[in-house]
Amino acid sequence: MKRASGEESPFVSEEIIRQIRGTVGEIHRSDSRRVFATLIRLIGDFDLAEEAVQDAFAAALEQWPRDGIPANPRAWLVTTGRFKAIDAMRRRTRFDASLAALAERVEADTQATAIVWEEEGVEDDRLRLIFTCCHPALAPDARAALTLREVCGLTTEEIARAFLTAPTTVAQRIVRAKAKIRDAKIPYQGPSPEDLPERLDVVLHVIYLVFNEGYSASSGESLTRADLSGEAIRLARLIKDLLPEPEVLGLLALMLLHESRRAARTSEQGDLILLEDQDRSLWDKECIAEGGALVEQALMSRRFGPYTLQAAISAVHAEARSAAETDWVQIVALYDILARVTPSPIIDLNRAVAVAMRSGPEAGLALIDAILERGDLDDYYLAHSARAELCRRLGRTADARGAYERALKLTQQGPERRFLEEKLRLLSEGESLV
């Protein structure tokens, strides 16, 4: 039930109040971060904008049951939030003189121009917010926390739980990042065309960092955290809609293809199941179809990079009806290209495993030993776990046991520790690990 703004009703039923409060709640869930992004542009201060968002929604709960839901709720919330922020700054000027100048500027802007509400402009605000939260001047460990807090709206406690970090540590990172933005006068804007490749790389790196922690947690008793990888995918979808560059498509494809295997990666008891042993009927076919289409689109652009190449590798795995039917020749060829595009010891390790599957364990083991002899990945448990498996296949039981023990010392992840302990138990009992 809607009424023209300003037209009051002598009585508002409890049912209408419940309905409108429900609507306010839905708008808060779907649009509060959009409103926040626009208020950041208008006010220029993270904390003041966050407070203005809350004040605007509180005003909606009070006024909409009486006045009716406005024709454009988000525009109403932005306008209300801006005036609430001006009022708040005016009240605090005796404690902080700098707020007086800020209030005057915001008020002057308000009087000079009306807010023109266009969806394109709102989405530009969201893009600016993402690039600001992922600015290269910020500490790397603060970028993910700030992005999850300000772009996704996660609480400090939720972020802390996701990364198994104390809430106070996360809060300090966020506070320092906001202070850096303020003190260094980091502009709230997207990058110039010249700076876009570098700045976009940082944004994509932050999103992938968030996804990896959700897809394969660094420690704890749960192998995955679906909420965290889900937020990363949501961020990537947002970036794709706002800036559909090939590597954005590639990263989204990569995450979707990995995510498609979530249900098959652990047993009912939460134990780790390797890719070759997974029940592929549990793989999410919709994720695979969407990811595959995005890979093809990115590859056709001929401007793709490492995320697209990794997604292409994942797509080859997804296409195989069984582990035995995996096209390891194609996967090794893709790793060859990836290693040239983005040299990395971890890429070398993954390529070595693929070579072992294509050409036999001895060929793969030689490559892994070379990586470890260089001093690369000596503290990376997956390198030793992979070496152990290849030694086992070659009948080198003592070497396999030593490598498994080294891997076990390097991981704090519960399911991975149980997996390695089981491998060691079977080795000790002389049982087959195939």
What proportion of the chain, given as a percentage, has pLDDT over 90?
56
Task: Give the model confidence (pLDDT) of 130-176 as tens digits.
Answer: 899 999 999 988 998 999 899 888 888 878 876 768 899 999 999 99
Q: Provide CB contacts within 8 A for 67, sequence distance 6+.
A: 3, 5, 6, 7, 8
Model confidence at 80: pLDDT above 90? yes
Residue 77 is predicted with a pLDDT of 95
Phi, psi of 375 (to 5 degrees): 90, 0
Model confidence at 269: pLDDT above 90? no
CA distance 14 to 88: 31
Mean pLDDT across the stretch 92-101? 60
Task: Give the model confidence (pLDDT) of 405-427 as tens digits.
Answer: 999 999 877 888 999 999 999 99
Residue 3 is predicted with a pLDDT of 46
Residue 299 is predicted with a pLDDT of 96
For residue 298, give the amino acid letter.
A
Model confidence at 82: pLDDT above 60? yes
Task: Return the structure tokens found at 378.
Answer: 């000596």
Model confidence at 266: pLDDT above 90? no
Mean pLDDT across the stretch 246-270? 93
Residue 114 is predicted with a pLDDT of 45
Task: Return the structure tokens found at 77.
Answer: 């919330």
Residue 222 is predicted with a pLDDT of 58
- Tokens 């049951």 correspond to 65
Instruction: Report the first-to-last Cα separation within the chain, whole angstroms.
Output: 66
CA distance 419 to 425: 10
Task: Give the model confidence (pLDDT) of 290-333 as tens digits.
Answer: 999 999 999 999 888 999 999 999 999 999 999 999 999 999 99
Higher-pLDDT residue of 340 and 16 is 340
Mean pLDDT across the stretch 225-229? 76
Mean pLDDT across the stretch 109-114? 47
Q: Provide CB contacts within 8 A for 202, sequence distance 6+.
A: 134, 135, 136, 143
Which domains are seen in the chain, by residue range?
A: 14-117 (1.10.1740), 327-434 (1.25.40.10)
Residue 219, beta-bridge partner list: 412
312: which DSSP letter? H
**What average pLDDT does the structure give for the chain?**
86
Mean pLDDT across the stretch 359-377? 96
Q: Which sign does the torsion angle of CA 229, 235, 241, 247 carry?
A: negative
Phi, psi of 379 (to 5 degrees): -105, 15
Residue 107 is predicted with a pLDDT of 53
Task: Return the structure tokens found at 384.
Answer: 């030793």
Model confidence at 358: pLDDT above 90? yes
Look at residues 217, 287, 278, 218 and name the one whose alpha carbon lies nearest to residue 254. 287
Mean pLDDT across the stretch 388-411? 95
Mean pLDDT across the stretch 89-115? 57
Model confidence at 404: pLDDT above 90? yes
Task: Give the model confidence (pLDDT) of 115-129 as tens digits.
Answer: 444 444 456 788 889
Task: Give the model confidence (pLDDT) of 6-26 as tens digits.
Answer: 444 456 688 888 898 999 999
What proportion of the chain, given as a percentage, has pLDDT over 70?
86
Provide DSSP, 162-217: HTT--HHHHHHHHHHHHHHHHHTT--SSPPPTTTHHHHHHHHHHHHHHHHHHHHS-
